[in-house]
Each structure stands twice: as structure tokens, then as C-alpha cells.
């Protein structure tokens, strides 16, 4: 899940028209009435109810039990320092700490925002975080990203300097892709890295994608199930690969480290977009002849928590 909706215009009318075309109800969960031109709103932390804070605690407790031995080390370290287990966090104080660490800030948004707005925020080192929290009946699955997904899944890695720099460059690349008919390919890159990426480590494969880290089921599936394919990261391969939004991923791409992610996505994608336009996309379950389906290489921590 990303905080964007595919749309080449930032006009409010076009944005909601695009949502209507993608949604059975033609509407979004968030309240956009008080959003400014950048779709930023006040968090209004005092408006969260005791029941919402209690739901946050339940969500946090579930993930806290699942991520040891499955999440990458920098995520675990940063999450531990944030100390947000007892209720929905207040963005302002954490944003100030984040700015001192990597120059990023958090901005509260009503929910999904147009692509251009999303990319502009990232390009200026601002990460949009949804203000509303899912309902109790959505504990295990939610269609739109909520505050738990956005904060728990994404924010801890913004404290890593290399990952933070990569995300800013992604935002800049997104603004450029809008002019080159490359948004579909760039969305696949976001999906298979920032949302559902795996990283290698001496202890075994670990998750760094927010869609995995905030999910009670996918964090087990991606590392413990024999069903999905786990393939070494390659930009062109990723940009050609379709993905599922209604089921666990059939393929995960594995980076060596965040430096590789930064380096491999730092080039100008203009010629790549042009080359890929003439190539058919690959199914989410594809495994090419020359590719290796990487072994799980479970650590003792994985085995104990499986």
C-alpha cells in the first residue's frame, strides 16, 4: 500500500474522479474537507478515543511478537527507540526527532493522496501518514493504509540515513516518471521494495517492506512459507512484474542491503521506461530460466517463532 492514487493531476475533482473509477463505493475513508493544497491536515491527537488507543495497543502487541527474527535489525532498533506501544503516537514530537536524525518530517494526511502530491512530499523529505485508524473488524486486513500501517510499517526505517535518502530519490523519480509514462513501472518498484521488500542478512532473510511489517499474516508467509518465490533484486525485473493487492505476494525481491537499493535505483530510468514499453509484463508468479529461487535460510529465531 502506498499513500498515493494513480492520477496525473493534483486537482481535487480529477483526484476523486480517479477514486470513483477504482472503488465500488467511489469514496475514500478519510475526511478531506480540512486538507490544504498539499492534502495536509492537523492530526488532532486529542480526538482519538480510548477504544482507538486500545486497538492500536492490540495491533502493536501482535506485531511486536512477530517481528523478532523476521524484521531487519534497523527496523527493530528504530521501533524500540520510538516507544509507541501504548497508543496512537503524536506525530509532532516524533517528527522533530526524525528531522534531527535524517532531515525528514511527518505530515498528517486524510488518507490516499494524488501521485504528484505524494511524490512532492517524498522529494522534500516529508512522509505522509494517514490520521485515521481501522475499525476493530479490520484488525487482520484493511484495504486502504491507515495510521498503523503508515506509522508502524514505514516510519522506523526513515531513521536509517541510506533508506531515507533512497525514499527521497524515489519521490524525485516519481515526479519525472509522470512525464514519461512510467508510473506503472515505478509503482511496481515501490510495491516490491518499500512495501514488500526482503533483505538478506547473515542471520537469514528479513523483511523491511511496510506492507509485511504491519501485517499479522504476511510477515509469516513471506519468510516461512515454501510457496512464494524469493528472487535477487533486479530493477528491470521488478518493473516488469505485476503484483497482487488482494492476496499474499507470490514473489518477493531480495536486496543485499540498503546501499544496493540506493545505488541500483539511482540511475536515470528514462531509457529503461522506453525499453520496457515494448515488453510484456511478467506474471506475479513468474520465475525466469536464469533466476534462482533463494532458499529461506531460516535462523534459529525464525524456527522458534514459526
Choice among 18, 214, 299, 305 that is catalytic: 214
Region of 297 on the Ramachandran plot (φ > 0 left; ψ -120 to 50 alpha; else beta): left
Catalytic residue among 18, 121, 144, 154: 154
User: Which member of 4, 144, 166, 195 is catalytic?
Assistant: 195
Active site (annotated) includes residue 149: yes
**Cell numbers describing residue 292:** 534462482
Q: Which of 149, 215, 218, 299 is the catalytic position?
A: 149
Q: Cα separations (Å) of 187 from 40, 66, 117, 151?
A: 22, 27, 15, 20
User: How do 251-255 and 229-232 pair as beta strands?
Assistant: parallel
Q: How many other C-beta atoms are found inside a 10 Å radius of the C-beta of residue 186? A: 22
Q: Does 154 qualify as catalytic in the annotation?
A: yes
Give the span between the Cα atoms of 148 and 154, in whole angstroms. Answer: 9
Question: In degrees, to the nearest 5, what angle opens at C-alpha 213 toward C-alphas 80 and 131?
Answer: 80
In angstroms, rounded to a whole number, what is the distance separating the alpha carbons of residues 31 and 35?
A: 8
Instruction: Enumerate the active-site residues.
Output: 149, 154, 195, 214
Amino acid at each position: 500500500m502506498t499513500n498515493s492514487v494513480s492520477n496525473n493531476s493534483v486537482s481535487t475533482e480529477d483526484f476523486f474522479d480517479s477514486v470513483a473509477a477504482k472503488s465500488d463505493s467511489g469514496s475514500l475513508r478519510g475526511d478531506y474537507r480540512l486538507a490544504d493544497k498539499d492534502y495536509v491536515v492537523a492530526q488532532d491527537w486529542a480526538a482519538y478515543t480510548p477504544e482507538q488507543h486500545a486497538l492500536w495497543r492490540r495491533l502493536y502487541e501482535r506485531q511486536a511478537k512477530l517481528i523478532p527474527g523476521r524484521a531487519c535489525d534497523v527496523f527493530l532498533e528504530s521501533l524500540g527507540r520510538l516507544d509507541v506501544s501504548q497508543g496512537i503516537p503524536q506525530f509532532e514530537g516524533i517528527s522533530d526527532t526524525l528531522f534531527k536524525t535524517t532531515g525528514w518530517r511527518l505530515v498528517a494526511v486524510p488518507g490516499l493522496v494524488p501521485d504528484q502530491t505524494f511524490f512532492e512530499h517524498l522529494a522534500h523529505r516529508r512522509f505522509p501518514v494517514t490520521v485515521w485508524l481501522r475499525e476493530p473488524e479490520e484488525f487482520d486486513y484493511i484495504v486502504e493504509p491507515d495510521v498503523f500501517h503508515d506509522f508502524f510499517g514505514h516510519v522506523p526505517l526513515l531513521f536509517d540515513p541510506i533508506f531515507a535518502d533512497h525514499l527521497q530519490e524515489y519521490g524525485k523519480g516519481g515526479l519525472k516518471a509522470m512525464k514519461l509514462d512510467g508510473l506503472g513501472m515505478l509503482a511496481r518498484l515501490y510495491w516490491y521494495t518499500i512495501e514488500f521488500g526482503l533483505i538478506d542478512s547473515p542471520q537469514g532473510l528479513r523483511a523491511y517492506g511496510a506492507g509485511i511489517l504491519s501485517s499479522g499474516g504476511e510477515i509469516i508467509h513471506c519468510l516461512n512459507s515454501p510457496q512464494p518465490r524469493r528472487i535477487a533484486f533486479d530493477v528491470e525485473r521488478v518493473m516488469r512484474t505485476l503484483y497482487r493487492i488482494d492476496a499474499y505476494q507470490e514473489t518477493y525481491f531480495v536486496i543485499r542491503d540498503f546501499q544496493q537499493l540506493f545505488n541500483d535505483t539511482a540511475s536515470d530510468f528514462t531509457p529503461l521506461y522506453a525499453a520496457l514499453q515494448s515488453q510484456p509484463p511478467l506474471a506475479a508468479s513468474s520465475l525466469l530460466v536464469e533466476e534462482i529461487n533463494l532458499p529461506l535460510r531460516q535462523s534459529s529465531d525464525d524456527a522458534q517463532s514459526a
